[in-house]
């Protein structure tokens, strides 16, 4: 379908409203549908052909229902990887009639942060968004994963290459800030509004009103909460607060030579209720992480010492990695999660990414599934307009996928954090004998299902 088939927006110029950032009154003329739209190649350009579907509320003859108050007016709350990817999936800034804005509370995008593994499912989304090559160039492709005993003996190994070949996309490790940076770079000026903390979101008959901490307000046809694990949008929908997993994560990025952790290797050593892992994120730097059982609001002013007490006698190069990390670079956060993924949509408001399904990091899939959400939600809105029906379609095709990954991730975390010596011995024996095929199957199924889910609306 061509752009001519989109509803036309007439905005009443209102300087007072502009000063307050209140969207001016909009009216709509619906143009008739020129025929079935198609986006067979799955690319952004074709995905952006809005194809009003009479089966979900399109008026007879293909005209868009009158409740759609502009061609595409989407407010995204949060500029993490989910929010940024969604804006790109919606073609933000490519067409003035496609108004997409991201409201981010931070005054600037974070240059710090830790590392991240992105599996082939995420790479398929990034390819469709046109950022795969840039990201791969700034990342470390993974070749081999190893779960180890504390003395370094391998409990179970995993080769990434066959998976990457089969699923036609690599698995990479990179700095979280690099992902955010590459996504944000692709956005034209004016889409991302920094220093805008959402405090209230209210739906009325004409759309949704957003209110920010600085007192400003704006309106949109639909609002997407991509505002992370402590989402204000989820709270406005009456969603649950996240709970503590029982453990905290220490993380750092540190410059280190290849001899310490070779490129391509990701290892994770499992001890009694604690784990330590490391992998390179680029040529110069690597990312390490450790987990310890601890209360959510506990603090630790002696992070390096704590880590050395717990992990200093584990296999090389764990001690050296901690010792060469500047103390100020060691992050420590409780690992929190939603006990069950939230309700994804109510009316004109939807959730995506961690706001919808913050999960424990044990499968390394949180950001990957958020990117999947972004693509599918972008498709739904592009095809069905910024309408409640589009959001419902998104929710209906994402529900099972999200529930499944969150559940498997929680189970993997329980397995990894086992404390009792007897259970740990059983676990390690099982890992050494049975786990490889099971692990390979779990990973393959999780990643492949994510790729397949991208075309759920086609």
Beta strand ranges found along 258-310 (DSSP E): 265-271, 274-280, 285-293
Closest to ligand FAD by CB, 247 vs 314, is 247
Window of 97-105, 273-281, 297-305, 416-424 that interacts with ligand FAD by CB under 6 A: 97-105
**Nearest 5°: CA angle at 356, between 292 and 354?**
45
Q: Which of 365, 387, 446, 453 binds ligand FAD (CB under 6 A)?
A: 365
Minimum distance from CB of 411 to ligand FAD (Å)?
16
What secondary structure letter does DSSP report for 262? -
Dihedral of CA atoms 170, 141, 47, 91 in degrees, nearest 10, equals 180
The DSSP result for 133-164, as a single string, is: HHHHHTSEE--EEEEE-TTS-EEEEEEHHHHH
**Residue 82 interacts with ligand FAD (CB under 6 A): yes or no:** yes
**Residue 378 interacts with ligand FAD (CB under 6 A): yes or no:** no
- Site string (262-291) toward ligand FAD, x via CB under 6 A: ---------------------------x--
CA distance 7 to 51: 11
**Residue 170 interacts with ligand FAD (CB under 6 A): yes or no:** no
Nearest CA among 27, 28, 37 for reference residue 5: 37
**Residue 106 interacts with ligand FAD (CB under 6 A): yes or no:** yes
Q: Which of 6, 33, 73, 104 binds ligand FAD (CB under 6 A)?
A: 104
- Is-contact 111 396, C-beta < 8 A? no
Q: Which of 71, 76, 79, 382 binds ligand FAD (CB under 6 A)?
A: 79
Closest to ligand FAD by CB, 81 vs 417, is 81
Minimum distance from CB of 32 to ligand FAD (Å)?
38
**Residue 335 interacts with ligand FAD (CB under 6 A): yes or no:** yes
Q: Are strands 98-103 and 72-77 parallel, antiparallel or unpaired?
A: parallel
Nearest CA among 122, 135, 83, 74 for reference residue 106: 83
Minimum distance from CB of 113 to ligand FAD (Å)?
9
**Residue 226 interacts with ligand FAD (CB under 6 A): yes or no:** yes
Conformational region of residue 450, where left means phi above 0, alpha means psi within -120 to 50, and beta covers everything else: alpha
**Residue 197 interacts with ligand FAD (CB under 6 A): yes or no:** yes
Residues binding ligand FAD: number (CB under 6 A):
32
Hunting for tokens 């979101």 — which residue is that?
Answer: 201
Closest to ligand FAD by CB, 9 vs 232, is 232
C-alpha distance from residue 125 to each of 68, 118, 162, 251, 285 (Å):
28, 11, 20, 26, 25
Residues that bind ligand FAD (CB under 6 A): 77-83, 103-106, 116-117, 197-198, 226-228, 232, 249, 251, 289, 335, 353-354, 361, 364-368, 370
């Amino acid at each position: 379908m061509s752009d001519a088939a989109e509803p036309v927006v007439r905005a009443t110029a209102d300087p007072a409203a502009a000063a307050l950032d209140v969207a001016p009154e909009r009216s709509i003329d619906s143009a008739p549908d020129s025929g079935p739209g198609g986006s067979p190649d799955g690319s952004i350009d074709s995905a952006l052909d809005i194809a009003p579907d009479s089966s979900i509320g399109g008026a007879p003859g293909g005209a868009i229902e009158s409740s759609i108050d502009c061609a595409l007016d989407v407010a995204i709350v949060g500029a993490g990887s989910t929010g940024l990817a969604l804006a790109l999936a919606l073609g933000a800034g490519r067409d003035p009639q496609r108004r997409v804005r991201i409201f981010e509370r931070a005054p600037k995008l974070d240059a710090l942060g830790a590392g991240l593994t992105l599996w082939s499912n995420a790479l398929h989304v990034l390819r469709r968004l046109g950022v795969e090559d840039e990201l791969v160039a700034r990342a470390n492709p993974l070749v081999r994963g190893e779960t180890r005993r504390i003395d370094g003996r391998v409990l179970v190994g995993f080769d990434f290459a066959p998976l990457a070949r089969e699923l036609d996309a690599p698995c990479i490790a990179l700095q979280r800030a690099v992902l955010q940076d590459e996504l944000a770079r692709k956005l034209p000026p004016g889409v991302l509004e920094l220093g805008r903390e959402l405090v209230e979101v209210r739906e009325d008959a004409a759309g949704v009103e957003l209110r920010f901490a600085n007192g400003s307000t704006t309106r949109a046809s639909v609002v997407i909460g991509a505002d992370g694990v402590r989402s204000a949008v989820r709270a406005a929908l009456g969603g649950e607060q996240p709970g503590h997993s029982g453990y905290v994560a220490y993380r750092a990025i540190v410059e280190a030579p290849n001899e310490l952790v070779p490129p391509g290797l990701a290892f994770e050593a499992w001890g009694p209720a604690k784990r330590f892992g490391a992998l390179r994120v680029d040529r110069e730097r690597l990312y390490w992480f450790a987990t310890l059982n601890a209360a959510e609001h506990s603090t630790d002013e002696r992070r390096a010492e704590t880590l050395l007490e717990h992990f200093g006698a584990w296999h090389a190069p764990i001690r050296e990695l901690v010792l060469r990390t500047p103390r100020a670079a060691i992050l420590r956060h409780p690992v929190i999660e939603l006990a069950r993924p939230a309700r994804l949509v109510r009316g004109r408001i939807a959730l995506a990414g961690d706001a919808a399904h913050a999960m424990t990091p044990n499968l390394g899939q949180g950001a990957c599934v958020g990117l999947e959400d972004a693509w599918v939600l972008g498709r739904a809105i592009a095809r069905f307009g910024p309408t409640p029906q589009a959001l419902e379609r998104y929710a209906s095709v994402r529900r099972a996928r999200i529930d499944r990954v969150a559940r498997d991730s929680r189970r993997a975390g329980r397995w990894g954090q086992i404390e009792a010596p007897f259970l740990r011995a059983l676990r390690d024996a099982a890992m050494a004998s049975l786990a490889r095929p099971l692990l390979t199957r779990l990973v393959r199924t999780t990643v492949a299902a994510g790729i397949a889910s991208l075309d759920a609306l086609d």
